[in-house]
Structure 1
Amino acid sequence: MSPRTRVTVMAILVLLLLAGSAVYVQAFYRQKPLQEVQTDKKIVALTFDISWGYETPPAVLKVLKDHQVQCTFFLSGPWVTQYPEIARQIKDDGHEIASHGYRHINLTNFSKSEIKAELMKAHQAITAVTGESPRLFRAPNGDYNNNVIKAVYECNYRAIRWGTDSLDWMNPGISIIVDRINKHIHPGDIILMHASDTSKQTAQALPTIIENIHSQGYEILTVSELLAEAAANP
């Protein structure tokens, strides 16, 4: 091989490597946790994380049923196993079942294989109790890094975060929770709330939150419905 040919071959190999890297970067960028969808339509997803307790979840479900609203619930594996009747009620009420992992830990502290084990252990628990095979995952504390994201997608999940955080878990006061959502809500938003027993003001704030969302002309959807609507109407 002549020196000139060798240089040409090396140049082609470098270009192919760069092209492959660009495709990987673009693909990985698309796999970042979803916080909202890009849309001009007044649609939002109301979501709830549950990791412990049996008093707040039924109270939240009653409000949602009274207002004929379907939401997405991110459930932890141990909670589903401990309170199977409530988990099945969430499904039977027409809400979307999603995963909140197994242990309520910061997954960024673990290896990819350990993260995948957490996800699949939760998946098995949720499926066994509800009969649903969830495909949406929200990391405990919204704690993501590249390792977590790769593990999530290798387990055939979609990584979800949030656009608006109600901060209801801090129990700052009912009016503060309501006002925070009113202030930050926007088209395509994913709203984070909690239905664990430690969130003591969520059920009380929820009726006003739903009424305010509707009065502003928004439709409340599940996360999967939000994704489908945005895809159908870019």
Structure 2
Amino acid sequence: MNFIWIWRAKSLKRFMIISIAAFFTAGILYVESPLLPVFSTGDKPVAIHRVEAERPDLALTFDISWGEEQLEPILAVLKEEKVEEATFFVSGAWAERHPDLLEKIDEAGYEIGSHGYRHEHYTLWEEEDVKKDIQRAHNAISELTEEQPKYLRPPNGSFDDRILEVAEDLNYDVIHWSIHTHDWENPGVDTIVANATTNVENGDIMLFHASDSAKQTVEALPIVLEKLKKDGFSFVSISHLLSGASVDAKEID
């Protein structure tokens, strides 16, 4: 049986300088900076799916790979609900087709991560093709935003050990999720709300979609945000959530 390592991070106090700690007894190398923690097992790169946080923070993330109708209404909801931090994982091809919409995300102050270039399953590709796709997306997003994306969510959330190794070689941290709203399936607003608000814990990473296939997200999102805020949660970017963290490993098949 093959296993993918997905990591859970536990918040620590932020440091003002970069610190490096090697935990040889656990076989884990952890590197922390004020903005970006880098996780590795030494031999085995990892993905991050949640943070064990003391504060009631949730990372609000949106994937977008095609379409131009849903993004602006979603941005309007976030503004109306006074959500100042979120992370949008955009495909390079979408960014090139819609530079004006990418600019709207950037101008709103939201973090932009890479969703690859073509929205296809990396696990079906050769490693060199995956590398080229990630690099092509990186170049497209960097040129349009004048910032270097540092987080990768592989298309379709599809990855294995090979993909993790390629991402690590390209200086990307792979971001998965712990709360999947299934909004892209359009299961109904009530179902999306239930998926997004049931068994939520500090440090969860929430997956929504801003592609045109997710037709019910705009209606469900304000309900989700209001309910979670009433439950005491706040919404942050991936960088904010991961800033200052130690790690524990979780093995899933």
Superposed counterparts of 1:1-234, under 5 Å: 26-29=41-44, 31-69=45-83, 70-228=85-243, 230=245
Tell me by how many angstroms 1:230 deviates: 4.4
Paired residue type of 1:55: E
CA contact (8 A) 1:47 1:74 kept: yes
SS at match of 1:144: coil
CA contact (8 A) 1:112 1:150 kept: no
Tell me by how many angstroms 1:36 deviates: 0.2
* Structure 2 equivalent of residue 6 of structure 1: none
RMSD: 1.7
For 2:236 and 2:181, locate their aligned partners in 1 and report how far apart those are by CA, in whole Å. 17
The share of aligned pairs that are identical, in percent, is 37
For 1:62 and 1:229, locate their aligned partners in 2 and report how far apart those are by CA, in whole Å. 31
Tell me by how many angstroms 1:23 deviates: 6.9
* Structure 1 equivalent of residue 11 of structure 2: none
Pick which of 108-117 and 79-88 moved more: 108-117
Tell me by how many angstroms 1:28 deviates: 4.1
For 2:244 and 2:234, locate their aligned partners in 1 and report how far apart those are by CA, in whole Å. 11
**TM-score (normalizing by structure 2):** 0.79
Q: Which has the larger share of helix?
A: 1
SS at match of 2:41: helix
The Cα offsets for residues 89-125 of structure 1, whole Å up to 9 and x where unpaired, read as 1011010010000111110112222111010000011
For 2:146 and 2:216, locate their aligned partners in 1 and report how far apart those are by CA, in whole Å. 30
Q: Which has the larger share of strand?
A: 2
Tell me by how many angstroms 1:139 deviates: 0.6
Larger radius of gyration: 1
How many residues align? The count is 210
The Cα offsets for residues 174-221 of structure 1, whole Å up to 9 and x where unpaired, read as 011001111132111000000000100001111111111111111100
Tell me by how many angstroms 1:27 deviates: 2.4
SS at match of 1:226: helix
Runs of 4+ aligned residues of structure 1 deviating over 6 Å after TM superposition are: none
For 1:118 and 1:127, locate their aligned partners in 2 and report how far apart those are by CA, in whole Å. 14
For 1:226 and 1:35, locate their aligned partners in 2 and report how far apart those are by CA, in whole Å. 11
Paired residue type of 1:190: I
For 1:63 and 1:229, locate their aligned partners in 2 and report how far apart those are by CA, in whole Å. 29
For 1:201 and 1:23, locate their aligned partners in 2 and report how far apart those are by CA, in whole Å. 41
For 2:210 and 2:43, locate their aligned partners in 1 and report how far apart those are by CA, in whole Å. 32
